[in-house]
A and B are shown apart, each in its own frame.
Chain A
Amino acid sequence: MHELSIAMSIVDLACEEAEMRGAPGVDVVYLKLGPLSGVVKEALLFSYEIACQQTPLEGSKLLIEEVPIVVNCPVCRERRSVQSIQSLCCAICGTPTPEILEGRELMVTAMELRP
């Protein structure tokens, strides 16, 4: 369970960004989360609340957008989704596809700043 330390990194990052823009606080943090990031959404949401305590982010919301794994299928020569995280094969033609294009995201994409 490393979600608390991840949540604290999110809070640090958001505080820095808010300060840079002269905002007194943050209402919403938007996060993109891929299944290969190694981070569990529910555990992260739980930890986030704790990490926000006594920071300019106290009371803010974390909105997580879960994004799918996208691979480059060597047979279709296209961006494709996979059968599942347990089966990294092209969802269309079934070819095993090691080349991962997306799915490792753990990224703050945007924030709503408090006026």
Chain B
Amino acid sequence: MIVEPRLVEVRKNVLKQNDVLARALRERFREAGVLAISLVSSPGAGKTAFLERTLTLLHTRYKVAALVGDLATENDAARLARSQAPVKQIITGTVCHLEAAMVQNALDGWNLRDLDFLFIENVGNLVCPSSYDLGEDLRFVLLSVTEGEDKPLKYPTIFNSADVAIITKSDLAAAVEFDEVLTRRNIQAVRPGMQVLKLSAKTGAGMPDFLEFLERLHPRSHRAAAVAK
């Protein structure tokens, strides 16, 4: 009979279940030829306005859809529906972030092969979403000019987990004396080499460059390969 506590090796990721689901989602996106992009930012950085503008501009030429996470309301989905793109709300209740299982459930009934771009708007939060892989191909972190240039230094983890930074509300930059050089320097400090785009969803400034950037990322070759199979 063993009387001493037994030390056993485990070596398992705590979020293994989420990671496994996320990997499966990423594979589904790749096979279907859809580019999945998630958006993270603090509350009020302009994710929904940015997404509404993006969906409206893209949906004349591409098949686009969006999932939007929110703690309590369906307001965002109602706003985004004006773009004519299919939109589904994920209400997380008290959960402060999206998880891969929520994305998987929300995709029920959608044929991914019918899509070119899928946007996943996370809950407005610069802390918790950084821990959860959603299976997205790219993560965009949004930072509005009204938030302060040191946001990347205060939340290095989420900036580090993102692939592209988007400076939003550029139309307000002069009014708040936004220091773009300092902001870009701070972004590069926490995520060296990260691509940074600047735009205003309200005036449309910077949107053409952003759309061009998106189109370059479009997985047309993936789609062609998937169809050939």
Q: A-B contact count, CB below 8 Å?
A: 111
Q: Please tell me which one of the listed residues A27, A37, A97, A108 contacts residue B11 in the complex, with CB atoms under 8 A apart.
A: A108
Is the beta-carbon distance between B191 and A37 smaller than 8 angstroms? no
Is the beta-carbon distance between B192 and A88 smaller than 8 angstroms? yes
Interface check B43, CB cutoff 8 A: no
Interface check B4, CB cutoff 8 A: yes
Known contacts A88-B190, A88-B191, A96-B188: A107-B14 contact under CB 8 Å: yes
Interface check A87, CB cutoff 8 A: yes
CA distance in complex: A45, B119 (Å): 35
Interface check A38, CB cutoff 8 A: yes
Q: Which residues of B contact A115 (CB under 8 A)?
A: 1-6
Interface check A5, CB cutoff 8 A: yes
Interface-lining segment among B52-60, B125-133, B166-174, B210-218: B125-133
Q: State how many angstroms separate the Cβ of A30 from the closest Cβ of chain B.
A: 8
Is the beta-carbon distance between B156 and A98 smaller than 8 angstroms? no
Is the beta-carbon distance between A114 and B5 smaller than 8 angstroms? yes
Is the beta-carbon distance between A112 and B7 smaller than 8 angstroms? yes
Where chain B touches its partner, the secondary structure class is: mixed
Q: Smallest CB-CB separation from B160: which chain A residue?
A: A36
Q: Please tell me which one of the listed residues B11, B17, B128 contacts residue A109 in the complex, with CB atoms under 8 A apart.
A: B11
Is the beta-carbon distance between B131 and A37 smaller than 8 angstroms? yes
Q: State how many angstroms separate the Cβ of B188 from the closest Cβ of chain A.
A: 7
Q: State how many angstroms separate the Cβ of A110 from the closest Cβ of chain B.
A: 5
Q: Mark B1-23, 1 if CB is under 8 A from A, else 0.
A: 11111111111111111000000
Q: Please tell me which one of the listed residues B10, B13, B157 contacts residue A36 in the complex, with CB atoms under 8 A apart.
A: B157
Interface check B158, CB cutoff 8 A: yes
Q: Which residues of A contact B189 (CB under 8 A)?
A: 86-89, 96
Is the beta-carbon distance between A17 and B191 smaller than 8 angstroms? no
Q: Which residues of A contact B158 (CB under 8 A)?
A: 38
Interface check A91, CB cutoff 8 A: no
Q: Which residues of B contact A6 (CB under 8 A)?
A: 14-15, 131
Q: State how many angstroms separate the Cβ of A41 from the closest Cβ of chain B.
A: 13
CA distance in complex: A109, B55 (Å): 44
Q: Mark B141-182, 1 if CB is under 8 A from A, else 0.
A: 000000000000100111011000000000000000000000
26 A-B pairs whose Cβ atoms sit less than 8 Å apart in the complex: A2-B96, A2-B127, A6-B14, A6-B15, A6-B131, A10-B14, A30-B10, A35-B157, A36-B160, A37-B157, A38-B130, A38-B157, A38-B161, A85-B156, A85-B157, A86-B156, A87-B190, A88-B189, A88-B192, A97-B192, A98-B194, A107-B13, A109-B10, A111-B10, A112-B6, A112-B8
List residues of B whose CB falls within 8 A of some A CB: 1-17, 95-97, 127-128, 130-131, 153, 156-158, 160-161, 188-194
List residues of A whose CB falls within 8 A of some B CB: 1-2, 5-6, 9-10, 13, 17, 21, 23, 27-28, 30-31, 35-39, 85-89, 96-98, 100, 106-115
